[in-house]
Structure 1
């Protein structure tokens, strides 16, 4: 029963709740962008941002029972946001019923009925139909496509490579010297109800280690461990890679969809190449590939393999919208949506590593400059600067402490 409970709680807190929360920010996205994957990414980022807003004040302001207070507040906020997302999903389904003449299927519990309900909430998952191309007002851009036989075979090959990586990460977990600090921080939070006030190397009391304290990813791992009932060490080394590795590839899939929009059958080949790079990228102990497979759960690994690819994806998104601006007008909130997601990425970068604040800002500045020159829009630079406001606040806190 304990294993089943743990599995249910991990699925609930790592997949279901972020998906429901993602429905909230997905409301500002263009309909064609609102696939399940994009919604999940948005929900995950929003969860990270909420955790930062809860964990850092608890760590700085509460002397005793800081971690348990953080757990209660964060769990309550996450459940509340998930309920709001669920309600929005029901509203979207009811709206679809009113618009669809064949709404009888939306009321059934058949496969087609469930499929239509999901497409009402995640319309970006709909396949392109032949008649959609004939509709001058239709927007098939970004819809899912049906792959050729060759494309399906390539997807199977990618799936095999992914399973190999998951198998190796689960059964051959790699020991790392940083375990003595980062994993122990998570273990101490659960066992002693503290947040970064015990020195992991000796077990003695200490003041906040400013270099690591604001990067509260260890506390997030402790939260998942506490809520699921699994030991933080087992969670970090064995279970989190089962979530973070597929999540990283999900981001690469979204990048690939941007790059190969005109020839989607190249997407699975792109994913195979990325998987092979990850498998054979251990050319030193400091490559992103090495961190991806051997230190998957560490903040610096998540910065390199989650936050930075997300920034690249969002700038591809912005560039794609700018290219289409002359052909199809987007509403103001739709134009702002990738920039809003970038704010959440910056907040997540601070959670992962204090270096993420600097590296993320530099990358955003460089990409904004490129787009500003390419499209001759000074507003791009201002928008890029605005998304870095969380980084500035984080840096000021870091310097003041």
Structure 2
């Protein structure tokens, strides 16, 4: 029971409260946006903290305590900012639920089925040897990327392939805070959280694409859910990674973070709304770096395309400048990676 409450606290309440920092001016979908944006903030914080503490060779427990202080501080700030700025609309979810169509509720059933299959039919993967192994080793040794999970001995050099995208360390942090073993956290808890994050992003994207058509919004969400269930024809498809490996960093990048960044770019570059801050896009760009080294290059490409289409071609140079600042951490980490590889 204690682990369940701790999981609810650190996996739901704290991120949502932190996300309220960025929802002050929103008029609808406050809680969905807060949940999504809060995770973006905490992922960005995790990337900065883990990299700093790793290169300084600090112990893992110190990382956890600093992370907790920042996360709780952000959550309290979000709550205070929300209350001071306007009255929190506690009934907003129920209000929006009343106008949802049958397609929306069918989509929820499909999503619930996917979560149940993923949790109770947990897929065991060969990559567990490194990802879960690294998380377990981090907890046991109270160190950050100093012990090789394959051998149990110390790394002879910097693990350049993984150190800049320390997603297994984030798994260790959540395991430490909830008291749940990393293997259980990865295969049973993370899929629940990440499915909700993914479909929250799809839901908000549908609201953007079909702003006044609630029927089309529900159909879009249902279509996304059915697509994910229907494209497991190869072990290499994005749907395969979504269904059975979403807890891995590379799968999380493709299934959750890239769709979120696409949604944010669509809103920000078209200036369709003033309800989203460029800070949120910057946080998710850093979150992509946390998840996988592929995010270090894929995200600048995606954001760069939007900047070219909606900035350069329309002579909106302020958009281009803000986009560059958002992807700057990715570019810097890319340079660091090249230097680490050249150094040997």
**Shared fold (TM-score, shorter chain, > 0.5):** yes
Structure possessing the higher relative contact order (Cα contacts under 8 Å, 6 or more residues apart): 2
- In the other structure, the counterpart of 1:341 is 280
2:79 to 80, 83, 86: 86
- In the other structure, the counterpart of 2:235 is 285
* Unmatched tracts of structure 2, length 5 or more: none
**Alignment partners' CA distance in 1, 2:48 and 2:250:** 20
**CA offset at residue 34 of structure 1?**
6.4
2:51 to 48, 51, 56: 56
**Alignment partners' CA distance in 1, 2:62 and 2:170:** 13
2:11 to 11, 14, 39: 14
Q: Retained in 1: the 8 A contact 2:278–2:322? A: yes
Alignment of 1:284-323 (within 5 A): 284-321=234-271
Q: Retained in 1: the 8 A contact 2:57–2:144? A: no
Aligned residues: CA RMSD: 2.1
Alignment of 1:267-286 (within 5 A): 267-286=217-236
> In terms of mean alpha carbon deviation, does 292-301 or 370-379 score higher?
370-379
**CA offset at residue 251 of structure 1?**
0.4
* Unmatched tracts of structure 1, length 5 or more: 97-115, 128-143, 325-333
Q: Retained in 2: the 8 A contact 1:147–1:265? A: no
Alignment deviations for residues 334-358 of structure 1 (CA, whole Å, 9 cap, x no partner): 48x4422111111101100111010
**Alignment partners' CA distance in 2, 1:251 and 1:305:** 10
**Alignment partners' CA distance in 1, 2:220 and 2:80:** 37
1:204 to 139, 144, 153: 153
1:167 to 116, 124, 133: 116
Instruction: Summarize the Cα distance change of 1:156–1:370 in structure 2 as closer, same or farther, 3 Å threshold.
Output: same
**Alignment partners' CA distance in 1, 2:144 and 2:310:** 41
**Alignment partners' CA distance in 2, 1:37 and 1:386:** 26
**CA offset at residue 213 of structure 1?**
1.2
Instruction: Summarize the Cα distance change of 1:197–1:79 in structure 2 as closer, same or farther, 3 Å threshold.
Output: same
Bigger CA radius of gyration:
1
- In the other structure, the counterpart of 2:292 is 353
The reply on whether 1:185 has 2:134 as its aligned counterpart is yes
**Alignment partners' CA distance in 2, 1:351 and 1:241:** 17
Number of aligned residue pairs: give it: 339
- In the other structure, the counterpart of 1:133 is none
Alignment of 1:186-265 (within 5 A): 186-206=135-155, 207-265=157-215
The reply on whether 1:147 has 2:99 as its aligned counterpart is yes
**CA offset at residue 393 of structure 1?**
2.1
Alignment of 1:388-399 (within 5 A): 388-399=327-338
Alignment deviations for residues 268-318 of structure 1 (CA, whole Å, 9 cap, x no partner): 111111111111111221111111111111000111011110111012212
> In terms of mean alpha carbon deviation, does 207-216 or 221-230 score higher?
207-216
2:27 to 26, 32, 43: 32
**CA offset at residue 145 of structure 1?**
8.1
Alignment deviations for residues 340-380 of structure 1 (CA, whole Å, 9 cap, x no partner): 21111111011001110100000111122122366442333
Instruction: Summarize the Cα distance change of 1:33–1:368 in structure 2 as closer, same or farther, 3 Å threshold.
Output: farther
- In the other structure, the counterpart of 1:107 is none
